[in-house]
Amino acid sequence: MIEIARPALLGAGALAALLPLALHLLRPQERDRRLLPTARFLSRETRTRIRTHRLPDHIPLLILRMAFCLILGAALSGMRWVGPAEGVGEILIVDRGPGMAGVWSEVEAALSDMVGDHTLAIVLVGRDPDGSVTSESIAPARLPEGEAWTALSPIELGPGEDIRLVDLLGQLRLVGGGLVGVELIQARILTRARWSSWHPGTALLREEIWPAGIGAELINGGELLGQDPADATGKAIRLVAPEHLESTFWEALELWGYEPTRDEGPEVELIVGASEELGALWLGAEEGTGANEDGKYLLLDGRTIPGAGRPFGGSPPVNARIPLLRSGGRPAAAATGPGLDEPCRITLPVNGEVPILGDLLILMDALLWEGCGVRRVSNDQEEGAPDLWHSILETAQGVGPVPAELIRDEQAGLPLARLLLAVAFILALVEFLRVRRIP
């Protein structure tokens, strides 16, 4: 079976092949003249007339030129041989990110049930100690068990280093693009739905990466971040933020089960923004941009979260509590109150950049607890995530296979470009030699 990556170039080659045909139908012809007695006094005229003929001349030469154009267009079109394709193959992408550490035994059991005769590839996607995304393929026919499976356990890193759902989708496209021999490809992702692996715009990226529904095999359970149900005292929270930040922080508060509002009255206020919005709650912000700039937040338990942007200068009031630091040790947020008829105010200077929503949820949880002693209503840290995962991966049309030719990489199979270019070169050489022999 032959596939073409750029059909337009093959069509352009076919159109170019018509040009030699047109030229071979146009041939010069001398005009007929009647000689007069006085013609001996005139110089001989060499003008000719171009006429269109029914049949082309120099047929072998014409065939060479047309074949050269066709084969050159085929070479540039990315033509490749992928062999016979039939049936449906399946790819299993297994989440091996830090957030899967508490459910790794459940992953082993689920994977054993999922592997079938149509499984072509199983890929574990995780992170190296340096934080880079890594993948490891395992043979469907010989799944690791016991100690061999335990040796593949996820590496536990900070909250900002979890595997993103888009990382899993990217590996799926990479593996699927290299498969040959099947007509349709079915995909399933084995993961645990958690906000730390979600990124805004994931749904849009999924449609571009994989144009069909993906099976979402979700593992439940696992160790949460130490939430105590007895301390759960959800509150209404007044959010003060500029327009370009308000929707992001509002969404984070709602996802955690809080009730954000713009009205005064709640016992807790979260004030987010640049120096002009903070006023007397963050002193001397105009004096500089701060030091030890590395774009990370430092939680009081030692975890770091990326996405802090450029730090502010200045400092919080002397009597403020510091629930959040820059990773260089400078205060990143402050909490004051509550006082007499005064709410507990948390001040978070933000200079343009905020963490992605998954990391922001972790940051907000720590910020409200350390700053004002507020816990979420729900103890389930993954509340709402499974439904979102199913809606993103499976799509409204449900799970289904994708035609392999739609996602196949240009390097998959046997590329024919070099062979076709060599044939085109030989044709051009033969054409050159034949032209020299024409009188």
Higher pLDDT, 303 or 368: 368
**Residue 354's pLDDT is what?**
76
Asked if residue 155 lies in contact with residue 126, where contact means CB atoms within 8 angstroms, the answer is yes
Q: pTM of this prediction?
A: 0.56
Q: What architecture does CATH give domain 88-224+384-406?
A: 3-Layer(aba) Sandwich (3.40)
For residues 347-354, give the mean pLDDT: 77
Largest CA distance in the chain: 128
Comparing CA positions, the residue from 189, 244, 223 lying closest to residue 354 is 244
CA atoms of 124 and 134, how far apart (whole Å): 8
pLDDT of 145 strictly over 50: yes
Please provide the average confidence, as pLDDT, over all residues in the chain: 77
**Residue 201's pLDDT is what?**
62
Q: Give the list of residues 6+ apart from residue 8 with CB closer than 8 angstroms, or none.
A: 77
pLDDT in tens, 9-25: 888 988 998 888 888 77
Enumerate the domain spans of the chain.
2-31+48-82+413-437, 88-224+384-406, 229-372
57 falls in which pLDDT band (50, 70, 90)? Answer: confident
For residues 278-285, give the mean pLDDT: 67
Q: Which of 38-42, 181-185, 195-199 has the highest mean pLDDT?
A: 181-185
**Residue 90's pLDDT is what?**
92
Angle at 35 between CA 33 and CA 37, to 5 degrees: 160
Q: How many beta carbons lie within 10 A of that of residue 363, not counting itself? A: 25
pLDDT of 233 strictly over 50: no
301-305 long-range contacts, CB within 8 A, separation 24+: 301/366, 303/158, 303/159, 303/160, 303/362, 304/158, 304/160, 305/158, 305/159, 305/160, 305/355, 305/359, 305/362, 305/363
